[in-house]
């Protein structure tokens, strides 16, 4: 019965001036889940959060996470060819909104790369006419992530707890 189901298609890679965002390969996903280093991983990648995500992806059925537009993508710095982080959507749209998430390893932060990746993902999200907004949450004490969201036009929404939510309505 499962053989009759159409196989998901990997998301098209996103390319910016300095980055490519593409699906993780099965070997990369296995390495991330195991906390292993591959030659294409930048120092500091994977983070413990990346490892948790990859283990969950494998448990849920790797294809959902590597062959879906609603998945984290490998963030590759074109100048080095190394994976410097992961960014994408936390899952399918809910109430016509997508939740965005991601991280860049410390060595590659404060260079505008997170902003570049976020803008590309927002553009991808709004290619779908059914998406009305994109939102993301950051720990209240994570000033760099907050600045990236604000720089890309996100506005803080009232929220409770240890995270602040930022929201960007379709232009």
CA dist 103 and 85 (Å) reads 5
**Residue scoring higher pLDDT (63 or 145):** 145
End-to-end CA distance of the chain: 42
3-state secondary structure of 168: strand
Structural contact between residues 152 and 118, judged by C-beta atoms closer than 8 angstroms: yes
Select from 15, 31, 72, 74 the least CA-distant residue to 64: 72
The confidence band for 55, taking pLDDT boundaries of 50, 70 and 90, is: very high
Q: How far is C-alpha 133 from the geometric centre of its chain's CA atoms? A: 16
Cα 56-122-35 angle, rounded to 5 deg: 25
Q: What is the mean pLDDT of residues 58-63?
A: 74
Q: What is the mean pLDDT of residues 119-146?
A: 95
Q: Report pLDDT for 130.
A: 96
Select from 37, 36, 33 the least CA-distant residue to 51: 33
**Residue scoring higher pLDDT (149 or 9):** 149
For 9-28, the pLDDT digits (tens) are 667 899 999 999 999 998 99
Backbone dihedral angles phi then psi of residue 51, each to the nearest 5 degrees: -60, -45
Bridge partners (DSSP) listed for residue 15: 20
Select from 124, 126, 1, 131 the least CA-distant residue to 73: 124
The tokens for 50 are 């990346």
pTM of the model: 0.90
DSSP state of 156: E
For 69-127, the pLDDT digits (tens) are 778 899 999 999 999 999 999 888 999 999 999 999 999 999 999 999 999 999 999 99
The confidence band for 2, taking pLDDT boundaries of 50, 70 and 90, is: very low
């Amino acid at each position: 019965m499962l053989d009759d189901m159409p196989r998901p298609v990997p998301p098209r890679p996103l390319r910016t001036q300095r980055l490519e965002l593409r699906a993780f390969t099965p070997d990369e996903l296995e390495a991330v889940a195991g906390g292993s280093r591959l030659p294409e991983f930048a120092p500091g990648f994977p983070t413990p959060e990346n490892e948790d995500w990859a283990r969950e992806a494998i448990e849920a059925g790797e294809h959902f996470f590597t062959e879906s537009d609603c998945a984290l993508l490998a963030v590759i710095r074109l100048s080095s060819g190394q994976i410097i982080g992961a960014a994408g959507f936390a899952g399918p749209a809910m109430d016509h909104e997508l939740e965005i998430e991601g991280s860049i390893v410390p060595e590659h932060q404060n260079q505008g790369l997170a902003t570049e990746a976020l803008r590309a993902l927002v553009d991808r999200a709004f290619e779908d006419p059914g998406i009305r907004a994109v939102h993301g949450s950051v720990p209240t004490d994570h000033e760099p992530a907050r600045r990236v969201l604000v720089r890309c036009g996100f506005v803080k929404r009232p929220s409770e707890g240890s995270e602040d939510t930022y929201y960007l309505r379709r232009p």
